[in-house]
Structure 1
Amino acid sequence: MASTQVFCGTFIHSTDKDPLIILENTIIGVQRDTIIFIDNEDKIRDRLEEYQLPNNVVKYLTSGQFIIPGFVDTHAHASQYTFCGKGMDKGLLDWLDCYTFPTEARFKDTEFARDVYSKVVDRFLKNGTTTASYYATIHTDTSILLCKIIEKYGQRALVGKVNVDMEAPEYYIEDTTESVAGTEAFVKAVTELENPLITPCVTPRFAVSCSEELLKKVGQIAEQFQLPIQTHLSECRPECNVITSVHPKRLNYTDVYNHAGLLTNRTILAHSIYLCDEEIEVIKLKGCGISHCPNSNLTLRSGLLNTRTLLDKNIKIGLGTDIAGGYSPSMLNAIRQTIQISNTHAILAEKDGEKYKPLSFKEVFRLATLGGSQVLGLGKVIGNFEIGKQFDALIIDPQCTNSAFDIFDTDENKEDFLEKFLFMGDDRNIKSVYVAGRCVYEAGKRVVLSHRDS
């Protein structure tokens, strides 16, 4: 890879102020992993001379192509990929017992884990997910293996060894002390990889399956090393009802985590559907982010998150596939389902004579990119195209061979192209995938990264 690349064409991204900005006839210069300039196309010769670059470093997009930021998946269970699309007739708690715990227990087998983790990381990259927040399992060694596979494939990720010390099958319960020691060993091993793209993430599965002692101790690890924290919160009503019996001293579900020191501006709370006003205020005060997982919430019949209400309260929100509760590893599916759930809230509000503004595709595009980066604590690193940020990006080709959709002369501009891609496109339309300036996927095939594959 050349140390400096220049991309020329149309770029589409979001900012905090504007959910959709289209930069046509634009050049972006990338030195190693970082954006060093953004300028008009007519300044290309000046920029090449300024940085003493040859003409062949410029990658020109065709007239129909455009570049968007890489998708950010804020919640995914890498270990559950084997049963995506299975057990979709069950609710959350039954689904965990029938599919999740038995399958995750198999990840003590290194070769099984290697096969599954290799396929899931490959699949996510193919679908344009440049950054993912992964849950592994309770097994320290194979959780470390997941990180090594992510490194090999060139993805950016947060990864957590899962903690479980109660309210699970006997074959999938850890001793509290061993769970803490495993987390410490995992953090040490991932840190020693010295890969800036991979961050260890403290991962208590959820308050139902973690004792107060365990929650407090992993919270201390997160505080000591200033690590992100990921867990589940208020995913379904039966789960919320169980919390009152397993943690009777706490005021509510959110208070369990708050009491354990797990609510920080580095915390990622998946689902968060059934929150009372007091819980929402605590989450806002602590600066936590919420991962909205619309496919899973619908498929397991968990509920309908009111994303608009949380956004209006200035709470950070990103999108998650939540495989395998969600049956699709594509963030395009998460975008579409988010819009449908928001539309459902609008329909229900109208029925009750209330006003409700559903999310636009532009707003949801922002959630899948910049919003997700902010939830993962990476908002200053990735999420859009700004000088100083790293270049995580997708080249989209609406007119590729065997495209998932068609373009007509009635499609007047790149906004039309983007909207069609978000609603009807798939991995066939993703021509190239870049992570930290490095092309890791090209024309549907993984690019071999020799220094990582050795």
Structure 2
Amino acid sequence: MGKVQVYCGVLVHATKDECMQILQKHAIAVKDGKIVFVEDIEKFQQRTNEKEHEIIEIGENAFLMPGMIDTHIHAPQYPNAGKGLDRGLLEWLKSYTFPTEAKFQELEFAKTVYKRVVGRTLENGTTMASYYGTIHLEACLALCDIIDERGQRALVGKVNMNTNSPDYYIEESVDKSVSETRKFVDAVSHKKYSRVLPIITPRFALSCSQQLLDALGLLSIEMDLHVQTHISETKDECEAVRKMFPDYESYLDVYDKAGLIHNKTVLGHGIYLSDKERKKIKEKGASISHCPNSNLSIRSGILNARQCLSEGIKIGLGTDVSGGYSPSMLDAMRTAIHTSNMWSIKDPAHKAITHREAFMMATYGGSQALAIDHVVGNFEVGKEFDALLIKVDSPGSQIDVFKEDTPEDLIQKFIFLGDSRNIQKVFVNGEDVLQRKTGDKVV
């Protein structure tokens, strides 16, 4: 039996009651990947047993925080990150996204891209991601294998799309789409990954027939599966959905009637949801993935994140690569703050979200949005130890530290100025996955 690892120093996490709780001079103990206690260092030192404990000092100008959770990212779009942002959503899909995703029928191409995106998100502190794949079964299974090999935690979805899609990138029938999805779910379950789960992934209402949506809704309920899709991202999209589904009360109603809205559903964007739709999302226990970089980059709109938080809707952050050009959740936090500030400029009575709330949404809020807050998201005893060791003044850091800086000052500086150079270790279930070996090399 190995010793219990005890990290001593500054801890920061979010709880049900606090968006940011800073614990100075604290000890957090990890055994078999799980948190066994969190307590004041002095209390711990009074009862410590050196034979049982491996004490690790977090160090000066450093802190431990929960791993960041990306609630919405398109893995196959990673080659396009930083490209095509001069187009609106529907034109961007046609000119950049669909042609790139179609290439994933070539398995070696898919593996090359997926290795890059999983590695990049990990080095940027994303310990869990909800990934959209493509319509290609084998490529999606390869993504699961790569995630498992690298040690990341993830939900992975085989995309469904059987209408309003290009001839070269579309599923031929409802039966084929559902059959391939079942095969994907069964294959992922058979592999018994420790940290990778399947998620039902209709691309969005415009690319799925009602029959397909109904079948996917039944599948999600029958097998108790997570669901991810897009909703109300642009005004043009909302109008197109209204015309395509004239007998439905709203965009949300299309999904809800199909059985796709429940407590394991995460809805990307949600910028133009009505009051009634947001109320239904709250009642159903579904969540919203706020993707602020993407919303600004392709000029979709600006979500009122404060409104969602005030209404008690579960809300996490997403990079939405490649509509969002950055794979870093730090960027998602910053842009969430900036977009909320825009609401305050327009309406001085609007209370912009703070760095504390952005921190919460990137960690604990993300775990709630993906319905895994019983497993990860903060430093509660019994949860798995997904965490980042942050060194504010690491070599090459763009952050300058001054003697009057408080622990919260350093945390705030990291949120606004930090990058991967400040992320010294990335723990998933207690393992520093940045040091994990695949084959003969550290990746």
Cα deviation 1:91-122 (Å, max 9, x = unaligned): 00000000111000000111000000000000
Number of equivalenced pairs? 441
State the shift of 1:271 in Å: 0.1
1:140 to 116, 130, 137: 137
Q: Is contact 2:132–2:201 with CA below 8 Å preserved after alignment?
A: yes
State the shift of 1:449 in Å: 5.5
The within-5 A match list for 1:157-168 is: 157-168=154-165
SS in 2 for 1:254: helix
Q: Using the alignment, how far apart are the partners of 1:52 and 1:226 within structure 2? A: 44
Q: Using the alignment, how far apart are the partners of 2:249 and 2:192 within structure 1? A: 41
Q: Using the alignment, how far apart are the partners of 1:287 and 1:38 within structure 2? A: 30
Tell me which residue corresponds to 2:436: 447
Structure 2 residue identity aligned to 1:149: I
Cα deviation 1:234-255 (Å, max 9, x = unaligned): 0001111110222222111111
SS in 2 for 1:202: strand
Q: Is contact 2:3–2:52 with CA below 8 Å preserved after alignment?
A: no
SS in 1 for 2:415: helix
Identity %: 47
Cα deviation 1:274-300 (Å, max 9, x = unaligned): 011221111111111000000000000
Q: Is contact 2:316–2:362 with CA below 8 Å preserved after alignment?
A: yes
Q: Using the alignment, how far apart are the partners of 2:439 and 2:35 within structure 1? A: 24
Cα deviation 1:400-452 (Å, max 9, x = unaligned): 111121111231x11000000000000000010000111112xxxx5315799
Task: Flag structure 2 segments of 5+ consecutive residues without an equivalent.
Answer: none
SS in 2 for 1:208: helix
Tell me which residue corresponds to 2:16: 16
Q: Is contact 2:3–2:51 with CA below 8 Å preserved after alignment?
A: no
2:397 to 393, 397, 403: 403
Q: Which moved more, 1:5-14 or 1:260-269?
A: 5-14
Q: Using the alignment, how far apart are the partners of 1:151 and 1:277 within structure 2? A: 40
Q: Using the alignment, how far apart are the partners of 2:421 and 2:295 within structure 1? A: 27
Structure 2 residue identity aligned to 1:4: V
Task: Flag structure 1 segments of 5+ consecutive residues without an equivalent.
Answer: none
State the shift of 1:48 in Å: 4.0
Q: Using the alignment, how far apart are the partners of 2:7 and 2:223 within structure 1? A: 37
Residue 93 of structure 2 corresponds to residue 111 of structure 1: no
SS in 1 for 2:347: helix
Tell me which residue corresponds to 2:52: 53
Q: Using the alignment, how far apart are the partners of 1:140 and 1:185 within structure 2? A: 8
RMSD: 1.6
SS in 2 for 1:262: coil
Superposed structure 1 runs of 4+ greater than 6 Å apart:
450-453
Tell me which residue corresponds to 1:283: 281
Tell me which residue corresponds to 2:188: 190
Tell me which residue corresponds to 1:171: 168
Q: Using the alignment, how far apart are the partners of 1:238 and 1:298 within structure 2? A: 16
Cα deviation 1:193-240 (Å, max 9, x = unaligned): 212311100000000000011011111111111111000000001111
Q: Using the alignment, how far apart are the partners of 1:231 and 1:439 within structure 2? A: 31
Q: Using the alignment, how far apart are the partners of 2:373 and 2:341 within structure 1? A: 28
Cα distance change of structure 1 residues 431 and 245 upon mapping to structure 2, 3 Å threshold:
same
Residue 358 of structure 2 corresponds to residue 359 of structure 1: no
Cα distance change of structure 1 residues 46 and 221 upon mapping to structure 2, 3 Å threshold:
farther
State the shift of 1:379 in Å: 0.9
Residue 422 of structure 2 corresponds to residue 429 of structure 1: yes
The within-5 A match list for 1:67-146 is: 67-146=64-143
SS in 1 for 2:11: strand
Cα distance change of structure 1 residues 233 and 60 upon mapping to structure 2, 3 Å threshold:
same
Q: Using the alignment, how far apart are the partners of 1:89 and 1:8 within structure 2? A: 48
Cα deviation 1:117-170 (Å, max 9, x = unaligned): 000000000000000000000001110110000000000001100000000001
1:152 to 136, 149, 155: 149
Structure 1 residue identity aligned to 2:7: F
TM-score by length of 2: 0.97
Structure 1 residue identity aligned to 2:416: F
TM-score by length of 1: 0.95
Tell me which residue corresponds to 1:438: 431
The within-5 A match list for 1:363-378 is: 363-378=357-372
